[in-house]
């Protein structure tokens, strides 16, 4: 982007937007985009993002897309206990008046709380019930090229020269910081403590209670999660964590959402829903087993999972729920009869990739509302399972296991389920992992499964390059660091 050309074009654009605002008698949205080369998403988020109260990062490989959102031109916030219809409506209204110039569409970026009926805990106060943010600066990276999109609100009283100057200063700053910086130093960040939200035995007892409740017919499945808190000697580095997650997890959605001092980030394998025109893509992911130590054990574990009646039942509950949640919204739905294996560095899952065509006028947030929470993170039936989680799980999930993603002005977008994730602030990291409980679930086995799931974030937060080439220490070893808390 050539700055002198941008200066004049951007100023013209803002002045035109001000004239529109005068005619309409209200503030309008002005969006301006242009090609933008030579930037690197993790540096853009972690370095350029430092100057902003809010920053968003998203990267996925298929199809390749990186989004980095900085600052905030507008924010849509869901109401506790309410659906997302009002957000979709507000987005439509905002776009109705907008003046959009350039090849790119404005995007909302953000996420939602897992349970918008539960109270917000202090830990999650800056995330609350959810937020979809229209960033002031959006960087979009695709295989075929990259772009920068500036969004701002303009009223009849806006000083366009001053606004233009402020935006250009931000762009200049961005240009100097978004190229790939030096790799962060891999100084070891020693752990000072680890604290489990519940001692292991108490958590296993909760699993046993859930199995009893299922046996009594109160529900068919419920997902119970654990929280594990780490404190380190130094602040956790968001940049180093994201770089580790990226190199170790190439088939996952990498996300990071920073709001003030808190950053929620992770590498999740689970798609909630993607909408592209009227094509819908969703995934059932449930039923898990660890990766093997060698190819033989790995194959054995995978085959056992495919043959496990308990896991197939757990998985089928998710597939059936996807079908029934989508029934009213689709014209066609293609659901493979058999799950396949989705292999990740530490764990493998049963997976069913579902495709469909939505009815005309079905929007993405309606689909998010219909699907979340799927029984992969909630349970069956939905209402009883959610009530059970709220009453019995003993933690506030915040945005863990909830939708995170993006939505553009064409209505296209994608939301993932925020698993294998942590909430980080300074030297504190709060990690979350859960698993599906059905009839026949064994508490010890489920506990071990959560340990395996926690490894994604533990390895990324505390990589040790000397150990087994993938920088991983086991959860059990970390437990030894505990100073009188948890276990």
Ligand X SMILES: C=C(O[C@@H]1C=C(C(=O)O)C=C[C@H]1O)C(=O)O
Q: What's the closest the beta carbon of residue 184 comes to ligand X, in angstroms?
A: 26
DSSP H or E run through 266: strand 262-268
Tell me how far apart the alpha carbons of residues 456 and 346 are, in angstroms, rounded to a whole number.
7
Nearer residue to ligand X within complex by CB, 191 or 207? 207
Instruction: From residue 118, give the alpha-carbon distance in Å to each of 128, 274, 367, 395, 397.
Output: 10, 27, 22, 11, 9
Both structure tokens of 354: 């579902």
Nearer residue to ligand X within complex by CB, 194 or 420? 420
DSSP H or E run through 151: strand 145-154
Length of the chain, in residues: 487
Q: What's the closest the beta carbon of residue 347 comes to ligand X, in angstroms?
A: 8
Nearer residue to ligand X within complex by CB, 112 or 401? 401
Q: Which residues are catalytic?
A: 221, 270
Footprint of ligand X on this chain (CB under 6 A)?
A: 223, 225, 270, 285-288, 349, 376-377, 401, 419-420, 433-436, 453
Nearer residue to ligand X within complex by CB, 10 or 422? 422
Tell me how far apart the alpha carbons of residues 248 and 246 are, in angstroms, rounded to a whole number.
6
Pick left, alpha or beta for residue 10 (phi over 0 → left; psi -120 to 50 → alpha; otherwise beta).
alpha
Instruction: From residue 84, give the alpha-carbon distance in Å to each of 79, 129, 160, 183.
Output: 9, 11, 34, 40
Q: What's the closest the beta carbon of residue 92 comes to ligand X, in angstroms?
A: 32
Enumerate residues 6+ apart whose C-beta is below 8 A from 308: 287
Nearer residue to ligand X within complex by CB, 259 or 349? 349
DSSP H or E run through 298: helix 295-307
Q: What's the closest the beta carbon of residue 318 comes to ligand X, in angstroms?
A: 7
Tell me how far apart the alpha carbons of residues 204 and 93 are, in angstroms, rounded to a whole number.
49
């Amino acid at each position: 982007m050539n700055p002198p050309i941008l200066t004049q074009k951007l100023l013209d654009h803002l002045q035109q937007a001000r004239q529109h605002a005068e005619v309409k008698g209200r503030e309008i949205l002005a969006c301006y985009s242009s090609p933008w080369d030579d930037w690197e998403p993790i540096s853009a988020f972690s370095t350029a993002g430092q100057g902003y109260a809010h920053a968003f990062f998203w990267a996925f490989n298929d199809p390749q897309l990186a989004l980095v959102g900085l600052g905030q031109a507008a924010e849509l916030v869901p109401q506790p206990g309410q659906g997302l219809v009002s957000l979709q409506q507000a987005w439509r209204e905002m776009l109705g008046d907008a003046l959009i110039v350039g090849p790119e569409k404005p995007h909302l970026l953000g996420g939602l709380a897992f349970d918008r009926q539960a109270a917000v805990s202090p830990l999650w106060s800056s995330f609350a019930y959810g937020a979809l943010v229209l960033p002031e600066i959006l960087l979009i990276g695709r295989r075929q090229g990259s772009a920068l999109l500036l969004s701002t609100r303009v009223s009849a009283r806006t000083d366009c020269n001053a606004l233009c100057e402020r935006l250009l200063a931000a762009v200049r700053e961005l240009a100097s910081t978004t190229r790939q910086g030096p790799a962060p130093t891999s100084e070891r960040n020693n752990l000072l403590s680890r604290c489990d939200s519940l001692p292991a035995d108490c958590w296993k007892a909760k699993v046993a209670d859930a199995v009893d409740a299922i046996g009594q017919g109160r529900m068919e499945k419920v997902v119970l999660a654990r929280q594990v808190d780490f404190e380190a000697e130094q602040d956790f580095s968001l940049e180093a964590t994201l770089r580790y997650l990226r190199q170790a997890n190439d088939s996952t959605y990498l996300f990071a959402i920073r709001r003030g001092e808190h950053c929620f980030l992770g590498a999740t394998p689970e798609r909630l829903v993607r909408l592209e025109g009227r094509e819908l893509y969703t995934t059932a992911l449930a039923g898990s087993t660890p990766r093997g130590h060698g190819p033989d054990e790995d194959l054995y574990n995978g085959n056992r999972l495919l043959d496990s009646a308990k896991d197939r039942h757990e998985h089928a509950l998710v597939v059936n729920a996807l079908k029934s949640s989508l029934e009213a919204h689709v014209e066609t739905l293609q659901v493979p009869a058999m799950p396949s294996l989705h292999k990740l560095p530490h764990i493998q899952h049963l997976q069913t990739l579902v495709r469909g065509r939505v009815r005309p006028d079905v929007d993405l947030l309606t689909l998010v509302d219909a699907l979340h929470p799927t029984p992969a993170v909630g349970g069956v039936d939905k209402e009883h399972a959610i009530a059970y989680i709220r009453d019995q799980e003993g933690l506030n999930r915040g945005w863990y296991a909830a939708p995170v993603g993006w939505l553009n002005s064409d209505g296209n977008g994608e939301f993932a389920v925020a698993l294998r994730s942590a909430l980080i602030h300074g030297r504190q990291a709060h990690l979350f992992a859960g698993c599906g409980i059905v009839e026949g679930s064994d508490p010890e086995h489920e506990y071990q499964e959560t340990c395996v799931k926690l490894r994604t974030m533990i390895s990324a937060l505390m990589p040790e390059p000397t150990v087994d080439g993938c920088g991983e220490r086991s959860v059990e070893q970390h437990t030894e660091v505990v100073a009188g808390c948890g276990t």
